[in-house]
């Protein structure tokens, strides 16, 4: 399947693995790239630029296909060593970067000078247009269904994707709620050039996370995520657990007086405990509503092959069949 996204990133299938904290290690990125998609290493999971450089090198030993790196620009007092991380990306020969969080304009010139394509994650049409105007090559349009940060406008993909298609000139992929062939074909029908999957890739044999995490996603329905940190205007969609229930209790009790410090125990330093140690009630971790559509734990290759085979059947048999039936 050829789209503007497969052409841009030099990949076989229009499927991108989203950046995910303590999930986007070399093993998963290489598996996605080897399966024909674009695998993504999460930069800030690596505590230093030197560790990121090692992770990129490790990934390149596992695949000779294109890989990308997710770099999230956080609104924090003490910023990570972003110049160092960017040097590691350039020196590692990575040609695709997924940016997220704050406006990446400051970093685009050096990335462009080194032939790196930038896809920026956006939750609104206005942010997507801003990304286009500053020179991003593509955007990942992230609907309200997504795990992680859906923004504050709460626009689901059935509206957001066609709106993006109406406004954007650069290519975009659908993100949030993506899990299978139906997701891909629907996204293409609404104007996207592919899809970005996060939660779905966690529930694979290749994801280097604790089995408890995969089982929790498998056991969850579309009703089992919660939105936390809404009073702080830093909304995050997470899988419900005891830690999340504590956050929600505090939010209800404190209301507009809630401060980040009130919930720091349930949101800070949680990912290693959950993803690596399997402590499922440790606190809030990102998970999409798409958990309700996840019913097995295949290898990444099995998953991607299945999506592409079923997409072809959907397009050629079901959709074309509906036309010929008339």
- pLDDT value at residue 325: 65
Domain 4-204 - what CATH class? alpha beta
- Contact between 67 and 247 under an 8 Å Cβ cutoff? The reply is no
From the number of C-beta atoms within 10 Å of its C-beta (0-12, 13-18, 19+), residue 98 rates as buried
Render 55-90 in DSSP notation, one character per residue: HHHHHHHH-SS-EEEEEEE---SS---HHHHHHHHH
pLDDT tens across 20-79, in order?
999 999 999 999 999 999 999 999 999 999 999 999 999 999 999 999 999 999 877 788
Name every residue whose Cβ is closer than 8 Å to that of residue 290 and which is 6 or more positions away in sequence: 145, 147, 176, 177, 178, 179, 199, 200, 222
Rounded Cα gap, residues 42 and 71, in angstroms: 7
Name the token pair of 56.
């990129």
Are 5 and 26 spatial neighbours (Cβ–Cβ below 8 Å)?
no
CA atoms within 13 A on the CB side of 45: 22
What's residue 76's pLDDT? Answer: 74
Please give the pLDDT value at position 236: 97
User: Which stretches of the chain score pLDDT less than 70?
Assistant: 325-326
Beta strands 117-122 and 195-197, pairing class: unpaired
What φ, ψ does residue 46 adopt, rounded to 5°?
Answer: -85, 120
The pLDDT, as a whole number, for residue 78 is 84
Domains of the chain, residue spans: 4-204
Contact between 87 and 33 under an 8 Å Cβ cutoff? The reply is no
Q: What angle do CA 293, 298, 304 make, to 5 degrees?
A: 80
At residue 112, the pLDDT reads 97
Angle between the 82-91 and 49-62 helix axes, to the nearest 10 degrees?
30
What are the tens digits of pLDDT across the range 150-178? 999 999 999 999 999 999 999 999 999 99
């Amino acid at each position: 399947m050829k789209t503007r996204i497969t052409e841009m990133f030099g990949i076989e299938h229009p499927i991108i693995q989203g950046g995910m904290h303590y999930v986007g290690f070399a093993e998963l990125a290489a598996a996605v790239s080897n399966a024909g998609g674009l695998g993504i290493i999460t930069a800030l999971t690596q505590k230093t630029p030197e560790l990121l450089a090692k992770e990129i090198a490790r990934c390149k030993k596992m695949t000779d296909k294109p890989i990308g790196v997710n770099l999230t620009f956080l609104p924090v007092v003490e910023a990570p060593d972003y110049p160092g991380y960017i040097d590691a990306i350039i020196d590692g020969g990575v040609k695709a970067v997924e940016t997220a969080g704050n406006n990446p304009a400051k970093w685009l010139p050096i990335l462009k000078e080194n032939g790196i394509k930038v896809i920026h994650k956006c939750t609104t049409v206005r942010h997507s247009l801003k990304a286009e105007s500053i020179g991003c090559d593509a955007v990942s349009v992230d609907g309200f269904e997504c795990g992680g940060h859906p923004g504050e406008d709460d626009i689901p993909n059935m509206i957001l994707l066609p709106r993006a298609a109406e406004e954007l000139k650069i290519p975009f992929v659908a993100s949030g709620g993506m899990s299978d062939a139906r997701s891909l074909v629907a996204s293409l029908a609404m104007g996207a050039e592919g899809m970005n999957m996060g939660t779905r890739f966690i529930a694979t044999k290749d994801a280097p996370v604790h089995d408890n995490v995969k089982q929790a996603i498998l056991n969850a329905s579309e009703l089992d995520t919660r939105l936390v940190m809404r009073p702080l205007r830093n909304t995050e969609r997470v899988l419900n657990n005891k830690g999340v229930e504590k956050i929600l209790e505090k939010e209800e009790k404190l209301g507009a007086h809630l401060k980040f410090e009130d919930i720091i125990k349930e949101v800070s330093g949680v990912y290693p405990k959950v993803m690596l140690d399997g402590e499922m009630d440790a606190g809030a971790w990102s998970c999409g509503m798409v958990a309700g559509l996840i019913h097995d734990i295949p290898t990444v290759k099995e998953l991607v092959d299945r999506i592409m085979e079923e997409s072809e059947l959907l397009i050629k048999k079901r959709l074309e069949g509906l036309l010929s039936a008339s």
